[in-house]
Amino acid sequence: MEPSPLKNTALNDMKIIKDPRQMQEYALARRVEGKTIALVPTMGYLHQGHVSLMEHARPAADLVIVSIFVNPLQFGPREDLDVYPRDFEGDCRTCEQAGVDVIFAPQMSDIYPPEFQTEVSVSEVTRGLCGAHRPGHFNGVTTVVAKLFNLALPHKAFFGEKDYQQLVTIKRMVEDLNFPIEIIGVPIVREDDGLAMSSRNAYLSPAEREAALSLSHGLFRARELFEQGEKRSPILQQAVREAIREHAGQSCQLEYLAICDPDSLEEIEQVEKQAVIALAARVGKTRLIDNTLLSRESS
């Protein structure tokens, strides 16, 4: 279900804009006044991970715009588009509490009218990891983010490291297409027990949630090993696999596990300075992703 077709309204001081043209006119007018704009793109069902992006954005610009749009283009035909959790009213409250100035919540048909036929595609960095398992996903992401950039006209845009490949892909797109926008990555926000926050955690039963914890535990175990001096990717990967097996048995099925250069996302055999360990797994029907950065400097 799409957000209810409220007219563009104001909730206290926060504006809700639904119409893409109005969003662009509003952003342009603020720019003409000399205001700086920060954009936080989301698919809604907001949690503390999203709030952290807003908190990073708030002091970084005069205006903070949060977009809420469940982008059909980035879902595969057998994925969870139809059941993706939505709570527009709750999201409005969350944004208002976080001091957001504008929610941009367009209708699907306004973003993708019937004649729509353009796609933005980033090649190398989208080949592996999630890109290898979700054909078309990143084209959907870059296409909608390019549109959001052209509508909200931000000076800065904030993305979570939780979706690490997405962050790298957006940075690549911005550089390649000369968007005059600074892309800022924000660290992963986790539950107290380590589970990375995600709107999709809402799908998990209590037993599945317990099994899902094995993912972060596995990543933390590998990071500990790395901090103790282990450099070899196969050994670090083995530590992740073992932790997942010990904690979750067969309830957690890895889709991929890779140790990559944090910029190129090419897999590396040996971690000299920095790397990202990234994984995706299925817990029941739910697909979860997580990652952690390994850095020799900070350890």
In the complex, least distance from residue 189 CB atom to ligand AMP, rounded to whole angstroms: 4
User: What residue type is assigned to position 154 of the chain?
Assistant: P
Torsion sign (Cα): 95, 97, 98, 99? positive
**What minimum distance in Å lies between the beta carbon of 190 and ligand AMP?**
7
Q: Nearer to ligand AMP by C-beta: 166 or 233?
A: 166
Is 187 in contact with 262 (CB distance < 8 Å)?
no
CB of 192 to ligand AMP, least distance (A): 13
Dihedral sign, Cα of residue 101, residue 27, residue 157, residue 121: positive
For the chain, the first-to-last Cα distance in angstroms comes to 46
Phi-psi region of 48 (alpha: psi -120 to 50; beta: other; left: phi over 0): alpha
Residues that bind ligand AMP (CB under 6 A): 42-43, 49-50, 52-53, 159-160, 162-163, 186, 188-189, 196-199
Q: What sign does the CA torsion over 6, 10, 16, 21 have? A: positive
* β-strand pairing of 156-160 with 102-104: unpaired
Nearer to ligand AMP by C-beta: 163 or 208?
Answer: 163
Tell the smallest beta-carbon distance from residue 171 to ligand AMP (Å): 12
Closest approach of Cβ 106 to ligand AMP, in Å?
Answer: 15
- Per annotation, catalytic residue among 47, 50, 155, 217: 50
**Residues 277, 292 contacting (CB under 8 angstroms):** yes
Q: Is 50 a catalytic residue?
A: yes
Residue at shortest CB range from ligand AMP: 160
User: In a 10 Å sphere around its CB, with 0-12 CB exposed, 13-18 middle and 19+ buried, how is residue 107 labelled?
Assistant: middle
Max CA distance (Å), the chain: 58
Closer Cβ to ligand AMP, 42 or 286, answer by number = 42
Indicate the residue among 100 and 225 with the shorter CB distance to ligand AMP.
Answer: 100
Write out the catalytic residue numbers.
50
